[in-house]
Every structure is written in C-alpha cells, then in structure tokens.
Amino acid sequence: MSGPPRLIAREARARPAADGASRRRPLLEPCDTARSGGQLPRLLAGPPAHGGAETFEQHLARLGHLPRRCPEDIVEMVHQAGLRGRGGSGFPVGRKMAAVADRGGDPLVVVNAAESEPASMKDRLLLRLRPQLLLDGAAVAAAATGAGQAVIYLHSGDDVLASALETALLERTSTPFDDPTFRVAYGPPKFVAGESSAIVSFLEGGLAKPRHAHRSSTSGVDGRPTLIQNAETAAHLALIGRGGPDWFRQAGTSRWPGSVLVTLTGAVASPGQVLELSGPRPTSDLLTDAGRLDRPPQAVLLGGYGGAWVEGERAWDVPIYPDMLADRHLPFGCGLLAVLPHGHCGIAETARLLTYLADESAQQCGACMFGLPRLAETMQRLAAGQASRAELRRFTRRSDSIVGRGACGHPDGAVAMAASALDTFAGDVALHLTGRPCPPHARRGLFPIPSHCPTWR
C-alpha cells in the first residue's frame, strides 16, 4: 500500500480530555535481557524504553516487512505455531481465525488494547513502546480472515497511549503488506468495558456492557464475524508472520508455545515492571531477580484481581507459566504477580480489591449488581474486626449463589479471589472474628486502584 494510511475518524464518543483523576500512572521500564528467562526477549526487543515508541522506520529496519501469504497459509501457520490468546482464556488463535474466515460475509478484526486490570502493564507497555507490532498483528489477522477493517480499541483518558497509537498509524505510509483500514475506538475506562462482548456492544453504538452467550467469531459487531484478540496476542502474530511456527515454538512449552509477559506489582523493587518469560521460571527466581526479595513474602495474588491468593511459601517454588499454573489449579490470567509482604493484612487488601470490583459492575445482572457490594461490605467488616461467624457463613452462601449467574466472568472472578483470601489468610480471619483488627499501618492500600474509583480503607 502506498500513500497515507486509511485511518477512519475516531468514534463519535471519542476519548475525553484526560484529567488528573482518570489519567493512569506512568508506565515503568520493561525487564532487561538478563531477567527475561534465559533467551533474548521477543516482544520487548528493540530500542531502549527511554526513547519512547519504536518508529515505523526503526521497526522495519529491525524486523523487515511482513511477507505476503495467502489467507489459508496464514491460518495454518498460526495453527502450527500453537499460539493461544494472551487475554486470559488461552483459546487457540488459529481456531478463532478459521471460524471467522469460514463464516464469510464482511469480517472484522479488533485488537483489544484496553487493559482493564489496574495493576497489569503488559499491553500498555507494548502500545507505548512497540505499537507497530500491534498494527502488524492486526494486518496479519485481517489478511487471514479476509477483513478489510481493523479496529484498535482502548480505554479513554490515556493521552500517552493514544498519542503513541495515532502516531504509529500516521507513520505507516508504505508497506508491501496490504494494511486494512484502521479505526481507533475509545471505550469508557471501566473494568468490564474491556470484555469482548462489551466491546462488540460499544462498537455497535451501545453501552460497553457484556452480553450473555455471545460468540463474536460467528456473530460479532453488527452481526459480522469478528476476531477479537488482545494487544499481546496481536504482537505475537506480527512475529509469527515473520519467523514462522518453528521459530515461535523455540520459546515456551509444548502445551503453551511462545513467550509470555508478566507484570510484577506490590512489595517489589519496581511495581509495574513487565517481564518477558521465554519459559517457566519459579516464582522465587522472578521475585529475587526482578523483585529484589530475599525470602518468600506473606502471599502473592496470581492472575489479576479476579485471580487467586496463594500463601508465599507455597508459591515460592511454583513455576510461572500458563500451563504449569493450570496443572496446579492456579490462574495465569493477565499475567499479574502481585506481592503482599509480611506485616500487611491480606483481608484488608482483599476488602479494597473487592470494593473496587463491586463498584466496577456493569449494573445489569442481579448477582453482580447486588451480590458483590454485599460481599465487599462483609469483607470490610471482617477486616475491621466487626464481622461475626454468622456473617461469614452468609458470605459463603451468597458467594455460591453468585457464581455462574452473570453475563460475564466478572462476578465469578471477584468471588474466586475473595474465597481464596479466606483460605490463604485463615489466621487473620480467625483473629478478626474475635474482634481484633490489624493495626492501621497493616491495612494501608498496596495494590493499585484507579484514583477516581471509591475504595475502602
């Protein structure tokens, strides 16, 4: 394609001017090569972070142009690579591509760059430093599915990321690989607004709220078959399009090929640091090398705010990689490893997170709309030493009644995280049930929550 890129104007509900309340905290540097898992980084390779986004010219000089391939060859290549979606579910990308391509009609590609987890930084880092990888990945997905248009979807209110993306689009003035028509959409900065069916609803002109029983690959935006992949997945497509499946499988495991991105937060040396792992590494390696810890912490939260708490001693030797965690019935989710230090109240931290998740409800399903606030209230009372054993029993019954009754997985994740806290911090639970809360300094907030969101302290 020659000439300026085909960039459709922003959505009518374009991003508002960012203010101090909605602006996200600055992104931190990615890991260096020595901490990337024994091999050179892939997604995070390139110019140093202090230089900002890699330009299109630098991108091509480093990686070269994407080679042309027919749609069937691209789909087969992604099948052979074994790429799984990096958005949390881990669904095979090749199968999604094939479903969209086989549906016919007027397919659409969506790159979901709206990283809703407040503590996760991986997709934001890619968008800030390697936006051309995301756009290349969208182009590969469009070529595979026959889509003429690709939407890049991100939350409103972050001018740094929006500027990096729009600059990258304007730089794509010449590439022999046919770009789709790119469109940028800015959804609301809400937790559930990054869920795939919520994105479909928003792109159709509705509210960014999840839908029941939605399969976008067969009937997505305006009934069109729609391929939705997150930013990290799209970046992998850009590299598979150049290196091929055998190269891609040189990293990762046989069940989960390719590198993965992990964010460290909490009581670590640099909260928000993103690591690229080319294979499984014990939690102890990551937390001693990158986190600068010399002993197991009190606990870690794996997989995001809808993930699971794990006692520090137990987690210390657990290998961090999606399939390895799944073998232990632990979530990888968004790749978050959040560290809770000794002397910090895990019940109080859980109350903060549960209060945030309850406030982020789409307010359309009773289980989430009414159930999560009640759970958050009980967790707050427990942390303050005011809850009774009867309340805790009602907490468990209410949790059981919520699971599986929402339009999306938001309430299920919140319930799972809260349930894991009661187990992991059983000692604190017993103490608080006797009317003895932890001291105020042990209840201070540790994990990031957007400043415009109400929380409990």
CB-CB neighbours of 22 under 10 Å: 18
Q: How crowded is the C-beta side of 438, counted as CA atoms within 13 Å?
A: 22
Give this prediction's pTM.
0.89
Segment 291-306 mean pLDDT: 95
For the domain 7-248, what is the CATH code? 3.40.50.11540
Contact present, 158 and 121 (Cβ < 8 Å): no
Q: What is the pLDDT of residue 450?
A: 85
Domain definitions of the chain by residue range: 7-248, 260-340, 346-443
Q: What is the pLDDT of residues 227-243, one digit of tens each?
A: 999 999 999 999 999 99
> Residue 29: pLDDT band by 50, 70, 90 thresholds?
very low
For the domain 260-340, what is the CATH code? 3.10.20.600
> Residue 408: pLDDT band by 50, 70, 90 thresholds?
confident
Residue 143's nearest CA partner among 107, 90, 186 is 107
Q: What is the pLDDT of residue 39?
A: 52
Q: How crowded is the C-beta side of 450, counted as CA atoms within 13 Å?
A: 23
CATH number (3.30.565.10, 3.40.980.10, 3.90.1580.10, 1.20.1440.230) of 346-443 reads 1.20.1440.230
Contact present, 194 and 115 (Cβ < 8 Å): yes
